[in-house]
Amino acid sequence: MKATFGAGCFWHVEDLLAKTKGVKSTKVGYTGGQLPNPTYEEVCTDRTGHAEAVEVEFDPEEISFEELLDVFWNNHNPTTLNRQGPDVGIQYRSAIFYHDEKQKEIAEKSKQSLSESGRFDIPVVTEIVPAPTFYDAEEYHQKYFKKHGLS
């Protein structure tokens, strides 16, 4: 099964998800915007509408979508609009790109539960939208932390 998440710079998110039990593969790329086949430089202009994202292939017998959501929620700030840490722009937004109605339902319930938990004093701004076309990022972005000894 597939899951796709935007949670700021995709390097850290990809590394984290790649190490998660039940995740079979990950790739970084761009999704959610208007420009077909965008480049990193184009996405960085903040004018393509794309988010830096990670597409995950996972085995639902080993990890559920709910468990992947827990990893997602616990490893970025879902209350900052178009920003994660020092990275600012629409490409760094918090987003769940669902692949079917079941994922949408689970994501919405999970977001609601997090919002009501009292963990944050301000609203969770994560968008939950259908997964559009995913464009693979350039090869030098794939497994970036692993390639550079940061993993």
* Residue-level pLDDT at 148: 92
The domain of 52 spans 2-147
Whether pLDDT at 151 is above 90? no
Whether the predicted model's global pTM rises above the 0.85 cut: yes
Catalytic residues: 9
CA-nearest of 53, 2, 52, 51 to 25 is 2
* Residue-level pLDDT at 78: 98
Max Cα-Cα span within the chain: 40
Per-residue model confidence as pLDDT tens digits over 46-71: 999 999 999 999 999 999 999 999 99
Q: Tokens 């988010």 map to which residue?
A: 51
What CATH number corresponds to the domain at position 134? 3.30.1060.10
The CA distance from 105 to 90, in Å, is 24
Give the pair of three-digit tokens for residue 43: 């996405």
